Amino acid sequence: MFKLKVPKKQRETIRDKLKIANPIEYEYVLTTDKDLIEEDKINIVFDEEHVDKIVKILDLLAKGEDVFITGYNELGQKNIESRYVHYFTIEDDDVIAVLNKYRFIIKMKLYEVEALLKDKHFIRVSKYALVNINRIDYIKPAMNSKLILLMKNGDEVEVNRHYYKTFKETLNL
Amino acid sequence: MDRFLIFLEFLINNLIIVSTITIAVILTFYLAHRAYKEFKINYKLRKFQQRLRNLSTKQKQKRAMLVSLRVFAPVFIVLLVLQVTMTSPINYESHMTQLKKSEDIEMIHSYYNQKFSTQVSLRSSAQSATTESDVLDTIQLTMGETLSETIKTDGEYIYYLHEQGLTVIVPENSNNPISSNITEPFENIIDFEPITIMIDDAQVIVIGNGRPNTMSIFDELDEEVDEINTYVLIFDKSSSLTFTESYAINGTYQDGHHYEENLYVITKHDVDFDGNPQYQLPSVEKNGFVSKITYSDMYYIEGTRPEVFTSILHIDMASNAISQKAMLSDLDTETLFVGNDVYFISESLLFYEATEMFTMSDPVAKVRTAVTRFSTLSSGIEYYKTRIIDGTFDGNMMVNENQTELMILTHNMSKSSYNLHTLSLDLNHVITSSELNFGGYSVKTLMKQENHLYFVTDESLQNFYVLNLANEDAELLHVSQSYNIPTTLAAFKDGLFIGIKYTNIATENGPVDGLRISLFDISNPYHLEERFYEEVHLSSFGFSLAETTKVNKPFILEIEHNQLILSITSNDEITSLINESVLVFNISTDSGFATSAVEYSTLTGEIGNSFFIILEGHLYFIVNDDVIVFEMNDTHAPVYQFKLE
């Protein structure tokens, strides 16, 4: 998404501070030298002193604004920030949002949640599960053209054979 | 390079391991492919997440290591098994060791030699115990049976196996009794030594020893050709005895058995360990194609002397399928066939540990007897079980009438007593093991009649003992003591036995060779009663210097006509003429023996093999190549005479 174009001696330091990887495809060029801008891309020219502010801008550009979903559990009601949800699943006709430790009932249909979080890097992996890509820890290939997603909270979610192709295409696997 | 060749030899002889390695390699490739896919997917996932500025994703090291290890696990396991299998020492604790490679044979031999170096005296003592001074056989002949292995009849034809081939005789045709002389494939075998004929409804099976005449695949394998082979030649009865199959097994013939559709041939050949070990693995050449035994089809039985390969070839006569197993075994291993099971009885030494040698006087090894069973399964002949029993085997074994138990008599030399072991046929159980004491004398032989077992000891004044097998705690009873215990007992009728003893007969001019024919009554198992006897001076027949030997002197007990028919040889030292005579006794249970007819046929030449066949009311007396046909009636008149060749 972001490409860093700075002199070689500064590159590693700034890259660590900005928390960016070296992408093959990118839309934004980040540079400290206005002569290095690329005309067909969006260029952000900054001074090294403003790196902290650039980090916040990059987070906003990459993740967008947070979306909140209202969830319920035995303790009451809570607005959940979508990026903390590992995955949504259906249990006994209820849509459940699974967080690191907590689980909330969401009073929406799963396809409604999917539409709401369309741009928030959630992906449908089966008829019963919608997964946060950022919360996938590891992918284990299983037999029969299936994948097992190990989530960061330790749960396992299966990518159904029907959604296998879409899943692989979305993540460029 | 040597190690590589040893490894290759090991693989060739262990096809199961080769199959396992192949499967392991295929599995490794499959797992490697899966691991590659898994690493690739997760690498791309991390890249994708980095683009989303989620930099907390780290590679799961444990999982990566597990997947990597999983890929090589099958190969690791196979390598480990190979290493353990190839270098594992021989396990002398178990009764049987399945061989795996040529080094195993050397290891066994080396182990045995090392132990045996202190045991030289044992062999000679064991041999003296097995020396047979006399044999008490119980024989019951029926019509058409002969005591010859090389002349047999199927009731229609007489088959005569000789060095030049197989001669078929039509007994009914007195003008031209020789029907055919089969010379092929005998002419291709050098020094063919006829051994036995087996006849069934469809085939005539001929077995003999010899050496191959033509170049064989053995030459290509750079092995010695000048070895004795056992030839099994099969002729089809339905098409004028057409030669159909031939099998050549390396080694000399020991024993054979034809049961149902199965033919078993036991052969032996030496393992020469003088200097570098040299031996041929047991092999069989079927219609020109050689198949060698693999090491995994060979066994070593604990404590036996690794002197010879004893091979069992099983031929399924219906499908012509063959299977072969072999034992690295004692030269004196004996064979017993029970239906489709083959039993081998060998001497097995139990060596005491070195530490015990200092506390024990001679001997430092215990002599035991190993009984090993091979069974026929759908896959062919297979090793079944080995059981080791105490004592030295000296040739006395038998199976009970119901074929459920195996009885083996062993000699306990240190105690001068015997053990009668009764084993279940599957060798899983020792049913009884009774100690029998014959006053320090050796048992010459034993005989079984219904539930009673009779023993004769080898004292000059022979003792006759009986054991009632129906009673578990049966006592050994001394029945009688006599100089006249026969060497051969043949069941006659009404609980009566005919006994024949070749012995010296006292005359006015001193002892002469003769026969004592007795009619024994054992209807009371605890009393051996000699009802009648007849002594015959052999010099009464033909020339004055008459001799007879137990070897090759057949007799027929013809129960239908109450006749005992014997052959007698007499010779003239000056002229070297030999007289082969037929002596016929009529037997009466009331009055004993009466010499019915004596017929002479003066022949010249060496004393040869002589046989009888009774067929279609005629007695065929065969001496060497001459056949004299007699009527089977009171006169025993000769009908005609012809030569076999």
Q: Tell me the percentage of chain B whose pLDDT exceeds 90.
A: 16
Q: How sure is the predictor about B541, in pLDDT bands with cuts at 50, 70 and 90?
A: low
> What letter does residue B222 receive in the DSSP assignment?
T
A59 touches chain B (CB under 8 A): yes
Check the CA dihedral B429-B435-B441-B443 and report its sign. negative
B63 contacts A171? CB cut-off 8 A: no
A32-42 mean pLDDT: 87
Burial class (CB in 10 A: 0-12, 13-18, 19+), B417: middle
Sign of CA dihedral B143, B147, B149, B150: negative
Report pLDDT for B130: 34
pLDDT of B33 higher than 80: yes
Q: Which residues of A touch B60 (CB under 8 A)?
A: 137-138, 150
The residue of B31, B34, B36, B51 whose CB has the most chain A CBs within 10 angstroms, and thus the best one to mutate to test that interface, is B51
**Given a cut of 70, is residue B23 above it in pLDDT?**
yes
Give the mean model confidence (pLDDT) for residues B498-503: 78
**Given pLDDT bands bounded at 50, 70 and 90, which one contains residue B512?**
confident
Lookup result for tokens 């037997």: B587
Instruction: Judge: B48–A19 Cβ closer than 8 Å, yes or no.
Output: no
Which are the contacts of B607, defined by CB distance < 8 A and separation ≥ 6? B569, B571, B578
CA separation, residue B186 to residues B148, B291, B336, B601 (Å):
20, 22, 29, 31
Q: For all residues of chain B together, what is the average pLDDT?
A: 78
Read off the pLDDT of residues B79-112 as tens digits, 9 standing for 90 and up: 787 777 665 544 444 688 888 888 888 888 887 7
- Distance CA(B1)–CA(A38), nearest Å, equals 65
> Of B431-440, B459-468, B613-622, where does mean pLDDT reach its minimum?
B459-468
From chain B, the residues in CB contact with A21 under 8 A are 47, 50-51, 55
Whether A62 sits inside 8 A of B40 (CB atoms) is no
β-strand pairing of B96-98 with B298-301? antiparallel
Amino acid at B313: L
CB contact at 8 A, B370 and B388: yes
Does the structure show a pLDDT above 60 at B336?
A: yes
Indicate the pLDDT class of residue B460, thresholds 50, 70 and 90. Answer: low
Q: What is the pLDDT of residue B478?
A: 74
Q: What are the CA-CA distances from residue A13 to residues A20, A44, A48, B445, B521 (Å)? A: 11, 18, 10, 103, 118
| Burial status of residue B6 (CB atoms within 10 A of its CB: 0-12, 13-18, 19 or more) | middle
A62/B contact by beta carbon, under 8 A: yes
Q: Is the dihedral of CA B360, B361, B364, B369 positive or negative?
A: negative
- The predicted structure's pLDDT at residue B596: 63
A142 reaches B (C-beta below 8 A): no
Judged against a pLDDT cut of 90, whether residue B176 lies above it is answered with no
CA–CA separation, B322 vs B319, rounded Å?
Answer: 9
The pLDDT confidence band at residue B213, using thresholds 50, 70 and 90, is low
Cis geometry, peptide bond prior to residue B185 (ω within 30 degrees of 0): yes
**Taking CB atoms and an 8 Å cutoff, what residues of chain B touch A137?**
57, 60
User: B34 to chain A: which residues are within 8 Å by CB?
Assistant: 141
Q: pLDDT tens for residues B374-388? A: 999 888 999 999 999
> What are the distances in angstroms from CA A118 to CA A106, A123, A161, A165?
17, 8, 21, 18
CATH of domain A68-170: 2.40.50.1020
First CA to last CA distance, chain A: 17
Scanning A21-40 for CB atoms below 8 A from B yields: 21, 23
Side chain identity, residue B321: A
Could you tell me the pLDDT band of residue B266, with boundaries at 50, 70 and 90?
A: very high
pLDDT at residue number B92: 43
The CA angle B356-B360-B365, to the nearest 5 degrees, is 75
Provide the phi-psi class of B119: left if phi over 0, else alpha when psi is between -120 and 50, else beta.
alpha
| Chain A residues with beta carbon closer than 8 angstroms to that of B47 | 21, 172
Cis-peptide, bond into residue B363, ω within 30° of zero = yes
Of B34, B42, B55, the CB nearest to A19: B55
pLDDT value at position B123?
38
Which chain A residues are closer than 8 Å to B42 by Cβ?
A: 138-139
Which H or E run includes B259?
Answer: strand B252-259
Contacts of A140 in chain B (CB under 8 A): 38, 63
How big is chain B, counted in residues?
Answer: 645
Q: What percent of chain B has pLDDT over 70?
A: 77
**Judging by beta carbons within 10 Å of its beta carbon (0-12, 13-18, 19+), is residue B241 exposed, middle or buried?**
buried
- Identify whether the C-beta of residue B411 lies closer than 8 Å to the C-beta of residue B389: no
pLDDT the model gives residue B138: 44
Q: Check pLDDT > 60 for residue A77.
A: yes
Query: Is the per-residue pLDDT at B483 higher than 50?
Result: yes
B281, HSE (Cβ side, Cα atoms, 13 Å): 22
| B12 bridge partner residues | none
For strand B151-153 and strand B252-259, is the pairing parallel, antiparallel, or unpaired?
Answer: unpaired
Give the one of B34, B51, B57 whose C-beta lies nearest to A141's C-beta: B34
Query: Residue B499 in contact with residue B488, Cβ under 8 Å?
Result: yes
Residues B510-546 as b or e (16 or more Cβ within 10 Å = b): eebbbbbbbbbbbeebeebebebbbbbebbbbbbeeb
Longest alpha-carbon distance in chain A: 60
Q: How many CB atoms lie within 10 A of CB B52?
A: 15
Residues contacting residue B554 through CB under 8 Å, at least 6 positions apart: B146, B147, B148, B566, B567, B610, B611, B612
Q: Cβ contact (<8 Å) for B49 and A23?
A: no
Task: With a cut of 80, say whether residue B241 has pLDDT above it.
Answer: yes
A·B CB contacts under 8 A: 56
Give residue-wise pLDDT tens across range B352-362: 654 444 444 44
Question: CA B69 → CA A137, A140, B31, distances in Å?
Answer: 21, 16, 10
CB contact under 8 A, B41 and A139: yes
pLDDT band of residue B363 (cuts 50, 70, 90) is very low
Amino acid B90: pLDDT: 46
pLDDT band at B128 (very low <50, low <70, confident <90, very high): very low
CA closest to B53 among chain A residues: A20
B373 within 8 A of B436, measured Cβ to Cβ:
no
Q: CB–CB of A141 and B37 under 8 A?
A: yes
The domain ranges of chain B are 2-88, 93-130+184-390
User: Token pair of A42, please?
Assistant: 């969006």
Work out the average pLDDT over A120-147.
Answer: 89
* 3 state SS of B85: helix
Q: Among all residues of chain A, which has the CA nearest to that of B61?
A: A138
Instruction: Over range B326-350, report the average pLDDT.
Output: 90
Give the DSSP letter of residue B45. Answer: H
* A55 CB within 8 Å of a chain B CB: no
